[in-house]
Amino acid sequence: MAEHRIKVEELREKIPLLHAGDRVLLSGVVYTARDAAHKRIVSRMDANEPLPFELCGACIYYAGPTPAEPGAVIGSCGPTTSGRMDRFAPRLLDAGLAAMIGKGERSADVVEAIVRNGAVYLCAVGGAGALAAQSVKSCREIAFHDLGCESIKRLEVEDFPLIVAIDAQGNDLFK
């Protein structure tokens, strides 16, 4: 197992070097989105409407951060169970999504889409939302404000600690 320090904008070129079990310290812009936000993104895709952010090369973090305490950038920001996004993930990967961050196993359809698109699935430590929040340097809500903590947020992260759970060759840490 190797350790990689990667910027989000370098993901596409670095993904082929990543292997299931490798550690990643990720820096750059990631977007939070959970089930309700994914449903709206796909609805916008179906209606050929503008998306809240550019999918091509993007990284989505399956999280619904809690409100920040005074003086803090963000509240607790742990990953949610990724399987809840499995019905949407292949469509987003086919549209250019480079990486997903969450926790837990993924369906065979998602693994096939990861391989087909040369993407990667990264896992954050579940139950450690306060730890994840330490890597967040800025947070701005950008879409679906009515969803509260599940709205889409643009996060700037620095050295966010992750594990490669499913690599671009389909190697799966959960198998």
Query: What CATH number is given to the structural domain containing 76?
Result: 3.20.130.10
Residues in the chain: 175
Residues noted as catalytic: 38
Percent of the chain with pLDDT over 70: 99
**What is the value of pTM for the model shown?**
0.96
Confidence of residue 75 (pLDDT cuts 50, 70, 90): very high
Quick one: pLDDT at residue 108?
98
pLDDT of 21 higher than 90: yes
Evaluate whether residue 172 is within a structural domain: no
3-class secondary structure, 42 = helix
Residue 127 pLDDT > 80: no
Domain that holds residue 24: 3-166
Backbone angles phi, psi at 46, to 5 degrees: -60, -35
Confidence (pLDDT) at 144: 97
Residue 25's Cβ-count burial label (10 Å; 0-12, 13-18, 19+) is middle
Residue 122 and residue 104 in contact, taking contact as beta carbons nearer than 8 Å: no
74 part of a folded domain: yes
What is the distance between the alpha carbons of residues 157 and 154, in angstroms, rounded to a whole number? 10
Q: Once rounded to an integer, what is the mean pLDDT over residues 77-95? A: 97
- pLDDT for 134: 92
Q: Nearest to residue 59, comparing CAs of 84, 83, 24, 87?
A: 24
How many independent structural domains does the chain possess?
A: 1
Residue 72 pLDDT > 80? yes
- pLDDT tops 80 at residue 160: yes
Residue 129 has pLDDT above 90, yes or no: no
Tell me whether residue 171 is in a domain.
no
Q: Does 159 map to a domain? A: yes
- Band the pLDDT of 1: cuts 50, 70, 90: confident
Cβ density class 76-95: b for 16+ within 10 Å, e for less: bbbbbebbebbebbbbbbeb
Instruction: Give domain status of residue 175, yes or no.
Output: no
Q: What is the mean pLDDT of residues 114-133?
A: 90
Instruction: Say what the pLDDT of residue 130 is.
Output: 82
Position 126 scores a pLDDT of 75
* 174 within a domain of the structure (yes/no): no
Domain membership of residue 173 (yes or no) is no
Residue 128: what pLDDT? 72
Q: Helix (H, G, I), strand (E, B), or coil: what is residue 168? A: coil
